[in-house]
């Protein structure tokens, strides 16, 4: 047997605690058919906190439709960029009917929203196409802020990072030198800072995304069923409990629970997840908060709270406020092939099942802009009596302001 | 259901043990198996075979960590199946095919030296993992136990692929040094 094969097989004998550790440290944003059910069970944790005012109009305090943003006269042309190589999984949801797929998206089709802001993704380096250098000061500041919110005295904490130790650096440097090369720039880099405190570990990455690991995981009172496949009602009840218990961590003025999901795994299990967003302000602000200002909680397989996550995308660089198209116009563009999807070719207008407005906020998006996410029934992917609903994204910003309007070219895009 | 309770069901020879195991671990077993075989049906078959193996092993075994125990079985089954497919693909390799098929029957046919070497290797790898920083360890285990792609690991841990690659590169170097130091395998 070859040595590498022997090593691969020897990995089967590793301590089970490491298998356990690696199995629970995961998250995913979508259910992936290609990756079967593990991604479905993974924790969806897109969140954020402390969003400031980013809309061009002043905050409306009187009602949902007060002071809605107006489109700029000549906003700059937007470049969506190449998002074909972002490692996105197949975004499809299994359900008996599309009505089972729920969330608390504040947008609805009857709203008359004429314009929404578009932001530069400051994490993204335009020239290289790679993430920018981490801002360590911001990372540490964020870490200390979360420490305070978790009741950890920031004066007592020791901030650590994942920079490799000297001996490793020396070894690798010598290895490169031995083949006549130098260590590539940024090879030794810090990608996260963290603090270990009593019962928790707080980690902030270079995108200022924060994860709180509860160690050990916290068992909720007996009456709450915090499990992957708890019912909607049970999950809502857990949400109410978490909202009160972790008020400071959530740190949102008017936290609204978003119990979302309702899709099924291949095993036929239906599940929901919990996050909170700020529902304070006018409808445009609610949309921004729903997409960017969220705090999520997740259970482990034993039904105990083991992770909370807070994301805080930097929305400080607004490109402009853009006129947006209607949902009906978006569906027409979908039929013309002007969409982004990880599913197959759009099967036809008769299969459109649901439309909602969302911001795509992945860290590799060049800009944070609104899209219509249109759920389409995929008849060829029906599984075990369940329908599969694929997500198709059509830019909500008017086409004349986009330099590289997506056009489906027969591949995953 | 709690793992201890599931193991009790196995010991009580209750078929509910299989149902409960599938309910709880089907996803993870299929996920790992799919990483190796890249086929939905094969991965489901491996998961089903895993339950059978577990049924035959418990009792007498009483695994401390049921998840790890099942994942190890699924990984072995998947690697064996992959080996079988690889042999089939070579065409005409019937001897290899037969050897693959018979491998299960002769699994205990290893020398004392090989067994000792395997034992030392296992110890050395566990020691190496214990010394790795947590994040690097998770990346290493997800790559070389779960056999996840770099892209999936990066996505799962909110890292860039280049972060994952450089962590793996460092970890492999560290493992090589560790094995050399322990006098194992080199």
- pLDDT band of residue A88 (cuts 50, 70, 90) is low
Contact A209 B161 (CB under 8 A): no
pLDDT tens sequence across B56-105: 888 788 888 888 899 999 988 888 888 777 766 544 444 444 444 444 33
d(CA A368, CA A142): 21
Helix H, strand E, coil C: the string for A313-351 is CCCCCEEEEEEECCHHHHHHHHHCCCCEECCCCCCCHHH
pLDDT beyond 90 at A408: no
In this structure, what token pair is assigned to residue A20? 């356990």
Q: Residue B106, SS3?
A: helix
In this structure, what token pair is assigned to residue B114? 């090989």
In this structure, what token pair is assigned to residue B87? 């042999």
Chain B positions touching A37 (Cβ under 8 A) are: 26-27, 30-31
Amino acid B164: pLDDT:
86
| Closest partner CB to B27 (pick from A7, A40, A192) | A40
Question: Phi and psi (nearest 5°) for A376?
Answer: -125, 130
Contact A19 B30 (CB under 8 A): no
More confident of the two residues A132 and B62: B62
Question: What percent of chain B is predicted at pLDDT more than 90?
Answer: 6
pLDDT beyond 70 at A254: yes
Residue A28: closest C-alpha in chain B: B156
pLDDT tens sequence across B115-146: 566 777 888 888 889 988 888 898 889 888 88
Amino acid A37: pLDDT:
33
Task: Give the position of tokens 């291949």.
Answer: A266
- List the single range of A24-38, A284-298, A339-353 with lowest mean pLDDT: A24-38
Contact A207 B138 (CB under 8 A): no
Amino acid A63: pLDDT:
55
A20 to chain B, any CB pair closer than 8 A? The answer is: yes
Q: Is the dihedral of CA B44, B50, B51, B52 positive or negative?
A: positive
- pLDDT band of residue A372 (cuts 50, 70, 90) is very high
More confident of the two residues A383 and A355: A355
pLDDT tens sequence across A316-351: 899 999 999 999 999 999 999 999 888 888 999 999
Question: Other C-beta atoms within 10 Å of B100: how many?
Answer: 18
pLDDT beyond 60 at A255: yes
d(CA A276, CA A286): 12
Amino acid A24: pLDDT:
58
- pLDDT band of residue A190 (cuts 50, 70, 90) is confident
pTM, 2 dp: 0.58
Q: Are A172 and A114 in contact (CB under 8 A)?
A: no
Chain A positions touching B144 (Cβ under 8 A) are: 8, 11
Contact B185 A3 (CB under 8 A): yes
- List the single range of A55-69, A144-158, A247-261 with lowest mean pLDDT: A55-69
- List the single range of A1-5, A211-215, B34-38 with lowest mean pLDDT: A1-5
Question: Other C-beta atoms within 10 Å of B21: how many?
Answer: 26
Amino acid B184: pLDDT:
67
What's chain A's average pLDDT?
81
Amino acid A281: pLDDT:
79
Amino acid B97: pLDDT:
46
pLDDT tens sequence across A343-363: 888 999 999 999 999 999 877
Chain B positions touching A131 (Cβ under 8 A) are: 160
Interface of A with B in 112-141 (CB under 8 A): 130-131
pLDDT tens sequence across A34-83: 333 332 232 222 222 222 222 222 333 345 666 788 899 999 999 987 66
Average pLDDT over residues A202-222: 91
B154 to chain A, any CB pair closer than 8 A? The answer is: yes
Question: What percent of chain A is predicted at pLDDT more than 90?
Answer: 45
Interface of B with A in 157-186 (CB under 8 A): 157-163, 166, 169-170, 173-174, 177, 185
């Amino acid at each position: 047997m070859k040595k590498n094969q022997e090593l691969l097989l020897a990995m089967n004998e590793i301590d089970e605690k490491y298998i356990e550790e690696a199995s629970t440290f995961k998250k995913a944003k979508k259910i992936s058919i290609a990756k079967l059910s593990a991604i479905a069970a993974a924790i969806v944790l897109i969140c954020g906190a402390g969003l400031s005012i980013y809309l061009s109009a002043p905050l409306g305090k009187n009602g949902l439709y007060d002071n809605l943003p107006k489109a700029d006269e000549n906003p700059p042309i937007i470049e969506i960029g190449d998002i074909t190589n972002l490692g996105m999984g197949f975004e499809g949801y299994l359900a008996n009917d599309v009505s089972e797929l729920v969330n608390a998206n504040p947008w609805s089709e009857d709203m008359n929203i004429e314009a929404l802001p578009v932001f530069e993704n400051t994490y993204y380096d335009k020239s290289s196409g790679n993430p920018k250098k981490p801002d360590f000061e911001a990372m540490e500041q964020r870490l200390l802020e979360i420490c305070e919110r978790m009741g950890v005295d920031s004066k007592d904490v020791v901030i650590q990072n994942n920079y490799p130790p000297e001996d490793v650096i020396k070894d690798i440097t010598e290895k490169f030198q031995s083949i006549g090369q130098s260590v590539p720039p940024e090879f030794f880099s810090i990608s996260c800072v963290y603090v270990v405190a009593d019962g928790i570990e707080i980690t902030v990455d270079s995108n200022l995304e924060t994860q709180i690991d509860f160690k050990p995981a916290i068992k909720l009172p007996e009456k709450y069923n915090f499990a992957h496949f708890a019912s909607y009602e049970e999950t809502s009840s857990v949400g109410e409990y978490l909202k009160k218990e972790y008020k400071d961590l959530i740190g949102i003025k008017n936290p609204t629970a978003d119990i979302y999901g309702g899709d099924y795994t291949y095993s036929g299990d239906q599940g929901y997840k919990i996050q909170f967003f700020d529902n304070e302000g006018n409808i445009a602000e609610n949309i921004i908060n729903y997409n960017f200002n969220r705090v999520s909680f997740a259970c482990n397989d034993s039904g105990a709270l083991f992770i909370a996550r807070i994301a805080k995308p930097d929305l400080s660089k607004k490109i402009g406020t853009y006129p947006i198209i209607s949902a009906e116009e978006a569906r027409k563009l979908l039929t013309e092939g002007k969409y982004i999807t990880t599913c197959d070719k759009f099967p036809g207008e008769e299969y459109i099942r649901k439309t909602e407005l969302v911001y795509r906020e992945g860290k590799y998006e060049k800009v944070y802009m609104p899209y219509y996410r249109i759920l389409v029934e995929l008849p060829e992917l029906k599984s075990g009596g369940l329908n599969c609903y694929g997500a198709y994204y059509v830019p909500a910003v008017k086409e004349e302001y986009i330099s590289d309007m997506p056009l489906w070219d027969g591949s995953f895009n | 259901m709690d793992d201890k309770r599931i193991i009790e069901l196995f010991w009580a020879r209750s078929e509910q043990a299989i149902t409960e195991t599938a309910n709880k671990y089907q996803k993870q077993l299929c996920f790992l198996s799919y990483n190796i075989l890249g086929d939905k049906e094969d991965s489901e078959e491996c998961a089903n075979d895993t339950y059978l193996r577990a049924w035959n092993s418990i009792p007498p075994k009483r695994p401390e960590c049921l998840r790890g125990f099942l994942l190890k079985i699924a990984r072995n089954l998947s690697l064996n199946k992959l080996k079988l497919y690889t042999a089939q693909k070579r065409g005409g390799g019937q001897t290899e095919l037969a050897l693959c098929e018979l491998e299960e029957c002769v699994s205990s046919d290893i020398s004392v030296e090989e067994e000792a070497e395997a034992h030392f290797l296992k110890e050395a790898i566990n020691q190496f993992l214990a010394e790795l920083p947590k994040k690097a360890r998770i990346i290493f285990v997800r790559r070389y136990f779960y056999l996840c792609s770099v892209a999936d690991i990066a996505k799962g841990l909110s890292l860039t692929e280049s972060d994952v690659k450089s962590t793996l590169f460092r970890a492999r170097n560290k493992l090589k040094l560790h094995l050399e130091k322990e006098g194992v395998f080199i």
